[in-house]
Copies of this chain bind each other. A is one copy, B any other.
Amino acid sequence: MRAEIISVGTELLLGQIVDTNAAYLGQQLAELGIDVFFKQTVGDNPARVRGAVRLALSRADVVLITGGLGPTEDDLTVASVAEELNLPLEPHAEIAERIRQFFEVRGRVPTETVYKQALIPTGARAIPNSRGTAPGVHIDQDGRELFIMPGVPFEMYGMMESYVIPRLRERTGGVVIRSRVLRVTGEGESTVEARIKNLIGGTSPTIAPYAKLGEVHLRVTAKGTPSDVAAQLDAGEAGLRERLGEMIYGTNEESLELVVGRLLGERAATLAVAESCTGGLVAKRLTDIPGSSAYFLEGVVAYSNEAKRDQLGVPATSIEQHGAVSAEVAEAMARGIRDRAGSTYGLSVTGVAGPTGGTTAKPVGLVFLGLATAERTEHRRVNFGTEAGRSGIRWLAAQAALNLLRLHIQRS
């Protein structure tokens, strides 16, 4: 079985946005074991969209099309495909009703053009859109299938997961390609790679490292029957865990904040956070997790020295003697927020995120982390350098703070 991807959007040709949808679709098709030989990108132009569809249908069994499904005049993908396939458009009552409700809930009045999204080619099925107003369209032409989805990634992912992937899986039967990702933090790519050197380069499973900001993802990939694949992935994971141990913090889509939250929940422990240079990022990441209110009590963003003193009880003398970016202040912040919130743990971050404000003694990228427990308060000093820039340094500091807490809980 062969698939082809068509991305529709003049903004893609102009380079105004990068086509991450195509990469996502390529990954999903690869995991399904479906070959992709071509990908086309066309602008919002009916004749050229039609031409791209014609070409794709001449050489592929499955065509995935994204983009151009919205309510505006530019959005002409469905109409162009319908014309190419000689399928008149028909209003879809259920979709129209959903759109009406979407606006009603928000207390907004839909414009006329919005209902254009409820027009579906005759004989096609509407793919439900749980995340927006434009439905997708599924056309089966004597075994050749077209799936038309919105260009908004979040909406498209939803349709792929709930509709397109299950449908394609039915068609492929048998052999699958599956991956499992083990997520490592606290060490750089070269260190991780050196530890697992002889595991890289196998054939099934294959193991490949991918460096991300503040972490390394190790992708284990296997091909075969589902049970065979499961055994291969387990063996690959076991080999990596043997060599990397607690450096591995999670698998697949598990974020560090999710893992920290789970550890806190399992121990019925609570957390409060005091942040300076990360400016709320640690609290934001922790509260990204649904249900985090069970263990996350509160956060303080103490950006100024006054806030550190008044809100966290950091002694003015500590700030004067050691500076706001220091081990002493990091520890005082962690103790202060723990006392204030009455939480099991107090976690703090203070550092120089840049781009300015660095000195020889306290350069941009220098960060102190503090962790207070009932027994003691500790700190960690890390220098992330300047290469990652302000937002990168903030991310790395948040990552290191969460990892400090993770390792503490796991070891205790």
Contact = CB atoms under 8 A, between A and B. Distances in A.
A26 B14 contact: yes
Contacts of A114: 190
A43 interface: yes
Most B CB contacts (10 A, CB to CB) among A19, A40, A52, A70 go to A19
A284 B189 CA distance: 28
Interface string A336-353: 000011000000000000
Given A71-B189, A299-B300, A387-B131, A12 B37 contact: no
A43 B48 contact: no
A20 B39 CA distance: 15
Contacts of A131: 387-389
B40 A40 contact: yes
A208 B12 CA distance: 13
A26 B39 contact: no
Interface in A77-121: 102, 105-108, 110-111, 113-114
Interface in A11-55: 11-20, 22-30, 36-43, 45, 48, 52
Interface residues of A, number: 108
A391 interface: yes
A288 B279 contact: yes
Interface string A199-227: 01100000011110100000100000000
A65 to B, nearest CB: 15
Interface string A277-310: 0111111101110111100111111111011000
A40 B292 CA distance: 43
Nearest to A43: B37
B113 A387 contact: no
B23 A106 contact: no
A194 interface: yes
B48 A30 contact: no
A122 interface: no
Nearest to A209: B72
Nearest to A193: B72
Contacts of A169: none
Given A152-B211, A304-B293, A284 B281 contact: yes
Q: Give the most central of A27, A110, A111: most B CB within 10 Å.
A: A111
B108 A188 contact: yes
Contacts of A102: 385, 387
A380 interface: no
A188 B52 CA distance: 31
Contacts of A25: 15
Contacts of A39: 12-13, 40-42
Given A106-B383, A284-B281, A303-B296, A72 B189 contact: yes
18 contacts: A13-B37, A14-B30, A15-B26, A16-B26, A37-B42, A37-B43, A38-B40, A41-B41, A102-B385, A107-B383, A152-B211, A154-B388, A154-B389, A280-B283, A298-B302, A298-B307, A299-B303, A311-B340
Given A105-B383, A287-B303, 20 more contacts: A12-B23, A13-B36, A15-B24, A15-B26, A16-B23, A36-B43, A72-B209, A73-B200, A102-B385, A107-B383, A279-B283, A283-B283, A288-B390, A293-B303, A297-B304, A298-B311, A299-B300, A301-B301, A307-B341, A311-B340
